Amino acid sequence: MNEGQVQILADARHYVTEIFTQKVKPEFVFHNLDHTEAVAEACSHMADYYQLSEEDRFVLMLSAWFHDTGYSAGKTEGHEEVSVQIATQFLQQHSVSDALLQRITSCIRATQMPQSPITQVEKILCDADLMHLATDDFKAMNQLLKQERENLLGHKISKKEWRKGNIKFLQEHKYFTEYAQQYLESKKQENLLGLGKKKDDKEEAEAPETPFPYALDTAKKDEKNLEKSAERGIQTMFRLTSGNHLRLSSMSDNKSHIMISVNSIIISIVISVLFGKLAANREYVLPACVLLAVCLASMTFAILATRPSVSGGRFTEEDIRNKKTNLLFFGNFYRMELEDYQRAMNQMMNDGEYLYNSMIKDIYFLGIVLAKKYKYLRISYTIFMWGLIIAVIAFAVTAIVVMNHTAVTSVPTIDY
């Protein structure tokens, strides 16, 4: 890092230290300066491991120092946004560019539970923030967190309730970086087993004997089978619905191509054959123009039914974090770099709700497009049907009028 960045980091460390010593309440016995320093140290270690660029290291370290400053507001809920405000105010005073500021605020927001990192820097910060889950100090840190929660709630939390919540959290938690998965995951699982063993020991001491020792296992297996069956049903529903939509879209395109081909042939015949004979048969000009207008209008709506519509082809990290973009539609990513798209897809696949919502959006917008296609197609067929009838009637009426006129003018006259 250059001298300016080093100075900003030093000022940030001093500024954050003052916030924790003067503004953060003593009730926060876990989310304090010690925790922030531990996170910053872990980030520095992983930055060395991944050999981050100077800019990435600068973003990571500033994010680490500011990520918990929001606790100065005196509450846990929404503290990330307060941290973003504090970091933004400080960094703007130090003339940090808007691009770097955006990356730093995104890193801080990524630590909000459930964590949602996208970039490598965000993943490092999130793993460093929960590195205590995989240390020998886990029990002591966990006790501090329990005490902090009790301080804020104003009442005691039972050991059983706290242990149950911790087991669930550790079971659902996962590290994002390869470093944490390789060096931290095993110790975290060891700590999880320690919590589970205490729970099992207590339940064995309290549980009454049962004459059916395998009943619980059978019930669990049945429950898992039901969950798998429901999951397969959902997947089948998505697959069938998407397939039906695509088949209907293909059918509409085929019908549009038929209409375009038929009208193109009629227009070619009218222009090449009929128009050449209109000089001698001026009475047929109006019916020919009617037929030509009908074919043009019908073909226009058939073309509109098959005309593609593509969006900008780009999405932002904020779109992924807020789950706003549908990564399953090519129009939202065809201008993106492969690495950015891969990171976004991994984020979506790791979030079941985001994945299913994207599939629902995909089906919904396919339906919207289908409705538009069939609307234009119906108009095209309607114009062609009634227009062709009108054109044929016009030709017939014109032919009758011409025949009658010819008959009248051909009657011989008698001279007396």
Tens digit of each residue's pLDDT (9 = 90 or more) over 396-405? 888 888 777 7
How far apart CA 31 and CA 36 sit, in angstroms, is 7
Which among 170, 186, 206 is the end of a domain?
Answer: 206
Q: Flag the least confident range among 12-16, 126-130, 138-142.
A: 138-142
Burial class (CB in 10 A: 0-12, 13-18, 19+), 180: buried
User: To 10 degrees, what angle do helices 3-22 and 33-50 make?
Assistant: 150
Asked whether residue 228 is assigned to any structural domain, the reply reads: no
Which among 206, 230, 262 is the end of a domain?
Answer: 206
- In this structure, the answer to whether residues 41 and 127 fall within a common structural domain is yes
Helices (H), 270-351: 275-277, 285-306, 317-321, 338-349
- In this structure, the answer to whether residues 262 and 171 fall within a common structural domain is no
Asked whether residue 217 is assigned to any structural domain, the reply reads: no
| pLDDT averaged over every residue in the chain | 81
- In this structure, the answer to whether residues 268 and 202 fall within a common structural domain is no
- In this structure, the answer to whether residues 177 and 325 fall within a common structural domain is no
Overall domain count for the chain = 2
Asked whether residue 241 is assigned to any structural domain, the reply reads: no
Asked whether residue 371 is assigned to any structural domain, the reply reads: yes
- In this structure, the answer to whether residues 202 and 255 fall within a common structural domain is no
pLDDT at 139: 86
220 has pLDDT over 70 = no
Q: Flag the least confident range among 24-38, 158-172, 342-356.
A: 342-356
Asked whether residue 236 is assigned to any structural domain, the reply reads: no
- In this structure, the answer to whether residues 191 and 256 fall within a common structural domain is no
Q: Residue 299 in contact with residue 384, Cβ under 8 Å?
A: no
Q: Residue 387 in contact with residue 298, Cβ under 8 Å?
A: yes
pLDDT band at 203 (very low <50, low <70, confident <90, very high): very low
pLDDT digits (tens, 9 = 90+) for 225-273: 556 666 677 778 877 887 887 888 888 888 889 989 988 898 888 887 7
Helix (H) or strand (E) holding 401: helix 352-409
The closest alpha carbon to 180, from 119, 133, 117, belongs to: 133
pLDDT at 227: 61
- In this structure, the answer to whether residues 67 and 201 fall within a common structural domain is yes
152 has pLDDT over 60 = yes
pLDDT at 341: 81
Which among 206, 238, 270 is the end of a domain?
Answer: 206
Domain residues for 371? 251-409
- In this structure, the answer to whether residues 192 and 69 fall within a common structural domain is yes
- In this structure, the answer to whether residues 191 and 317 fall within a common structural domain is no
Asked whether residue 200 is assigned to any structural domain, the reply reads: yes
What is the separation, in whole angstroms, between the first and last Cα of the chain?
A: 122
Q: Flag the least confident range among 55-59, 143-147, 309-313.
A: 309-313
C-alpha of 206 from chain center: 46
Asked whether residue 352 is assigned to any structural domain, the reply reads: yes
pLDDT digits (tens, 9 = 90+) for 112-130: 888 888 888 989 999 998 9
- In this structure, the answer to whether residues 126 and 194 fall within a common structural domain is yes
Cβ atoms within 10 Å, residue 347:
20
How far apart CA 300 and CA 5 sit, in angstroms, is 61
pLDDT band at 206 (very low <50, low <70, confident <90, very high): very low
224 has pLDDT over 70 = no
CATH number, domain with residue 82? 1.10.3210.10
Asked whether residue 51 is assigned to any structural domain, the reply reads: yes
1 has pLDDT over 70 = no
How far apart CA 234 and CA 225 sit, in angstroms, is 14
210 has pLDDT over 50 = no
pLDDT at 306: 85
pLDDT digits (tens, 9 = 90+) for 371-391: 888 899 999 999 999 998 998
pLDDT digits (tens, 9 = 90+) for 299-354: 999 998 888 776 666 777 777 777 777 777 777 777 778 877 887 787 777 777 77
281 has pLDDT over 80 = no
- In this structure, the answer to whether residues 143 and 278 fall within a common structural domain is no
- In this structure, the answer to whether residues 85 and 194 fall within a common structural domain is yes
Structure tokens at 220: 């669990």
pLDDT band at 410 (very low <50, low <70, confident <90, very high): low
